Amino acid sequence: MAESSNRPVLVVDFGAQYAQLIARRVREAQVYSEVVPHTTPVAELLERDPAAIVLSGGPSSVYEPGAPQVDPKLFDMNVPVFGICYGFQAMAGALGGTVEHTGTREYGRTELGVQQAGGLLHEELPANHPVWMSHGDCVTKAPEGFTVTATSEGAPVAAFEDTERRFAGVQYHPEVGHSPHGQEVLRRFLHEIAGIRPQWTTSSIVDEQVALIRAQVGDGKAICGLSGGVDSAVAAALVQRAIGDRLTCVFVDHGLLRAGERAQVERDFVAATGVNLVTVDARERFLDALKGVTDPEQKRKIIGREFIRVFEQAERDLKAEGDYQFLVQGTLYPDVVESGGGSGAANIKSHHNVGGLPEDLQFTLVEPLRALFKDEVRRVGTELGLPETIVQRQPFPGPGLGIRIIGEVNQERLDILRKADAIAREELTSAGLDRQIWQCPVVLLADVRSVGVQGDGRTYGHPVVLRPVSSEDAMTADWTRLPYDVLERISTRITNEVSEVNRVVLDVTSKPPGTIEWE
């Protein structure tokens, strides 16, 4: 196991919009990272033997009553610390510097002026370059022992460092793309100031997880619910690498799949891995369970519950081959965070991989991807030899088309959505746009009727929504500006070829405030 994965960089979350993005950027510097809440006591942080600590930004002013503070004891523990935005100010205040509310604010693109040689963080970077700022307060005097290495119009101290104690910080946000040299600054802190070796690589992830899986499963046997998506496929491939033919994959056709997905799973994944695969046709069971249900959270929970019950039945059917005690799931880090399982985050959604499991679960969970972001999962899949058709497949939610139908789920509505979705995917692929978008959910507004004119008569058909989004990890996303001619072809084909649909609309909401899926 790599040293960097043994000793994590802890990102202390002060309520920042970008805390998860900071963690991703640390990993891009080949250093393992985790996010922890700002309420974590210093003693508990130290118990985890961190290689370094990063103090995130946050929405508060350091002068607000009850604003989160940094315990000064943190700086007496011989652990490298890097402050960002609010974390930079809290760090300066805790070490005896001066933070003031000067009335000058900086939001968005700001020109940074590098001072003298720029220190280790900014050495040989352009003397003036853009960064992304978001602050009302600012540091006006650095703590004793620190060198000021950058300023801006609204921040007399925009960066400082004390390399002897391995402390540094910046007022701006190095983690966002709007700070073009930000990743290099973060890398320099991690590698040069903190002295961390870059060992968090795809190979190290595979080796670490294989060892952990073997330790957890021992001589036991495992079942994996294979959906055909990237997450479950990579999770299954990792577990198979660890325990071989003691893994059996169960593919459940719940009737909520997109067109052609069952054949793709049974053909591509089995050909790539040679895994033991059992296909269960449970379409009627899921539709019966979803009958009359319109609440999205209830739909998710029902689908999650039925998945588990199907796995339990599959386990009983496989009893002759031995006792299956472990259930493999492709839970990712964003799933954990958005389900309220990480860093005190709000429960934005329940996910059948995390929040919808029944209390009487008969399996022990194996979640080899729980600490990974999607881009890391794709790289692991490539390392494991999975074909590009699986590794680069657009994300698809576990509950499938069941949460892309607004209203009750039934066979007729599934058929409508499946045809519309297939057309959208065909046109995006034909236009060469698959790599430019994160995913493009197609949503059926089943309980809405829209007046239209088709042929010589008025129609009352369903609208469908196109939701093309661009993202790095699904924590944040922006709507993808698809070419108008592609949108026109999709709309024309859907309204011509899917008779029940007479209107196609485009969702142009970013995340936040909207989620990627509608339900």
Distance separating alpha carbons of residues 70 and 55, to the nearest angstrom: 9
In degrees, rounded to 5, the angle at the alpha carbon of residue 463 between the alpha carbons of residues 302 and 258 is 50
Contact 503, 452 (CB under 8 A): yes
Using alpha carbons only, what angle is made at residue 4 by residues 131 and 161, rounded to the nearest 5 degrees?
40
**Could you tell me what percentage of the chain is helix, strand and coil, using 3-state DSSP and rounding each to the nearest 5?**
35, 25, 40
Rounded CA separation 70/81 (Å): 11
Q: Any catalytic annotation for residue 181?
A: no
* Catalytic residue chosen out of the listed positions 38, 135, 173, 352: 173
Do the beta carbons of residue 82 and residue 168 sit within 8 Å?
Answer: yes
253, 218, 207, 244: which is closest to 364 by C-alpha?
Answer: 218
Which amino acid appears at position 507 of this protein?
Answer: D
Between CA 330 and CA 338 the distance in angstroms is 15
The SS3 call for residue 27 is helix
Query: Of 28, 175, 312, 519, which is the active-site residue?
Result: 175
What b/e string do you get for 466-483 counting C-beta neighbours within 10 Å, with b at 16 or more? bbbbebebbbbbebbebe
Catalytic residue from among 28, 38, 85, 500: 85
In 336-387 the beta strands, taken as DSSP E runs, fall at 364-366
CA-to-CA distance for 500 and 61, rounded, in angstroms? 53
- In angstroms, the first-to-last Cα distance of the chain is 39
The one-letter amino acid code at 85 reads C
Q: How far apart are CA 507 and CA 61, in angstroms?
A: 34
CA distance 5 to 322: 34
- To which residue do tokens 């389900």 refer? 339
Is residue 175 annotated as a catalytic residue, yes or no? Answer: yes
- Taken as a whole, the chain contains a residue count of 519
Which residue is it, tokens 């249900």?
Answer: 293
CA trace torsion 264, 268, 269, 275 (10° rounding): 120
Decide: 161 and 149 in contact? Cβ < 8 Å.
yes
173 included as an active-site residue: yes
Of 15, 70, 19, which Cα lies nearest the Cα of 45? 70
Candidates 63, 60, 68; CA nearest to 40 is: 68
Catalytic residue set: 85, 173, 175
